[in-house]
A = this chain, B = another copy of it.
Amino acid sequence: MDIERSISALNNPMRRRILEWLKDRSNFPPALPGHEDLEGVCVAYIQEKAKLSQSTISNYMGLLKQAGFVKAERHGQWTFYRRDEENIQAFLAAVKDELLKT
């Protein structure tokens, strides 16, 4: 749990928004044919919703991944990103522990 890297990743409104979008797969277009079983979302879908360049979104997803907020799964030419709920909870616990007095 690298709190430094995690807070940096969160220190950007669009990255936080992406994390929120990923809470619900239905925020994005339906899964590509043959990938209906995957919970993750491909970079192109995120890019389309965020309206930022492909390279920027790829970079953002990399930062979120390094921070532990998302997991990436490569299937063919697509990379599917989804939230890492366990790590997100661990981050919240760590921030709480560092910030709270008691």
Contact = CB atoms under 8 A, between A and B. Distances in A.
Copies assembled: 2
Given A7-B11, A8-B11, A11-B11, A95 B98 contact: no
A96 B92 CA distance: 7
Contact of A4 (B8, B13, B83, B85): B13
A89 interface: yes
10 contacts: A7-B7, A8-B11, A20-B98, A23-B101, A83-B101, A85-B101, A88-B99, A88-B101, A92-B96, A95-B95
Interface of A: 4, 7-8, 10-11, 13, 16, 19-20, 23, 83, 85, 88-89, 91-92, 95-96, 98-101
